[in-house]
Amino acid sequence: MTVGLFIPCYVNQFYPGAAKATLLLLKKLGVDVVYPPKQTCCGQPMANSGFEHLSQGCNDLFIENFSEFDYIVAPSASCVLHVKDHLHSHANEAQASGIRSKVFELVEFLTDILKVEKLDAFFPHKVGIHHSCHGLRGLHLAQMSELNAPPFSKPQRLLDMVQGLEQVTLDRPDECCGFGGTFCVAEEAVSVKMGKDRVTDHTKNGAEYITSSDLSCLMHLEGILHRNKSSIKVLHIAEILNATL
């Protein structure tokens, strides 16, 4: 099995630690991982702003970079969902369709494909999970609070395998943080208020770290935490799952 590592553009530029942790964690679990160097962006920011018709260049490039792999894994639920929902190609629709069915967010790849039951990880801190909406309601990484359906949580299951880690319970377990792509600048006031309220939920329930399968949410929450000189840190879930003594 060879996995193509898809590192979203902003993760590559701003959060290389999360990308490295993803790579090293997969290797630790015995996976053959390759990072295609010519990758850029999945096209989501354009598409979500209403410019999906201009994202074909991104789609074609994505197909070129990733169609050969058995699986494609990314430490970003949002970008994975975009590829799953919107990657199309007039010239290579068969390849596009193949990619849509074999692209996975890291957490679901660990729980559903690798079926990880234990991890050699140690992280002695109180951690709050921030569910990204695309991970939760798009990829179903956990049960959605609105539905009358049995609860489950893939990230929680993985964090349960980390020694020393204590998960905090939130008042609103799956409320949106307000990042929302261009929403975060187009609707700056609402975006920041939503982010502040998410931070407060984690703070008052004792979290030292906020983790998520999406760095876009974390980048937004971190911006708010830093501005307010908070001691609470954000960390991508890959970095916790890959943390050792």
Partner 1 sequence: MKQSETKDHAALAEAFIKDEERVDWHDGALWYIREKRDIASKQIPEWEQLREAASAIKSNVISNLHEYLLQFEANLKKNGIIVHWADNAQEHNEIVYSILKAKEITQMVKSKSMLTEECHLNEYLEERGIGVINSDLGEYIQQIDNEPPSHIVLPCIHKRKEEIGELFHEHLGTEKGLSDPTQLTRVARKHLRNVFLTRRAALTGVNFAVAETGEYVVCTNEGNADMGAHLSEVQIASMGLEKLIPQKKHLGIFLRLLARSATGQPITIYSSHYKKPRAGQEMHLILVDAGRTRQLGRVDFRDSLKCIKCGGCMNTCPVYRKSGGLSYHNTISGPIGAILAPNLDMKKHADLPYASTLCGSCSNVCPVKINIHEQLYKWRQVIVKEGYAANTKALGMKAMAWTLSSPSTFTTAGKAGRWFLHNIPFVVNNKFNPWYKQREMPEGPKESFAEWYAKNEEPRP
Residues 220-239 binding partner 1 (CB under 8 A) are 220, 222-224, 226-227
Q: How far is CA 123 from CA 33, 127, 244, in A?
A: 25, 9, 7
| Residue 115 binds partner 1 (CB under 8 A) | no
Q: Is 150 in the site for partner 1 (CB under 8 A)?
A: no
The two tokens of residue 200 are 């407060």
Q: Give the count of beta carbons closer than 10 Å to the beta carbon of residue 56.
A: 14
Binding mask 196-215 for partner 1 (x = CB under 8 A): -x------------------
Q: Which H helix or E strand runs over 127?
A: strand 126-129
**What is the Cα–Cα distance from 99 to 107, expressed in whole angstroms?**
18
Stretch that binds partner 1, among 91-99, 105-113, 185-193, 236-244 (CB under 8 A): 185-193
Note the helical H segments in 31-121: 44-46, 56-66, 77-86, 93-102, 106-108
Taking CB under 8 A as the criterion, the residue among 91, 160, 164, 186 binding partner 1 is: 186
91 binds partner 1 (CB under 8 A): no
113 near partner 1, rule: CB under 8 A:
no
Pick between residue 56 and residue 156 the one whose CB is nearest to partner 1. 56
Q: Is 92 in the site for partner 1 (CB under 8 A)?
A: no
CB 140 to partner 1: min, Å: 11
Q: Which position among 28, 29, 48, 88 is part of the footprint of partner 1 (CB under 8 A)?
A: 48
Minimum CB separation of residue 117 from partner 1 in Å reads: 28
Return the range that interacts with partner 1 (CB under 8 A); candidates 120-128, 133-141, 162-170, 206-214.
133-141
Q: How many CB atoms lie within 10 A of CB 187?
A: 14
Alpha carbons within 13 A on the beta-carbon side of 61: 13
Q: Which of 30, 101, 117, 146 binds partner 1 (CB under 8 A)?
A: 146
Q: How many residues lie near partner 1 (CB under 8 A)? A: 73
> Whose Cβ is closer to partner 1: residue 140's or residue 206's?
140
SS3 content of the chain, % helix, strand, coil (to 5): 50, 15, 40
Q: Which amino acid is at 219?
A: M
β partners of residue 128: 210
Name the DSSP class of 134: I
C-beta closer to partner 1: residue 166 or 230: 230
1 binds partner 1 (CB under 8 A): no
Query: Per rule CB under 8 A, is residue 24 in the interface with partner 1?
Result: no
Using CB under 8 A as the binding rule, the residues of this chain from 152 to 181 that contact partner 1 are: 172, 174-176, 178-181
Residue 12 and residue 212: Cα distance in Å, rounded?
Answer: 17
Helix (H) or strand (E) holding 185: helix 183-186
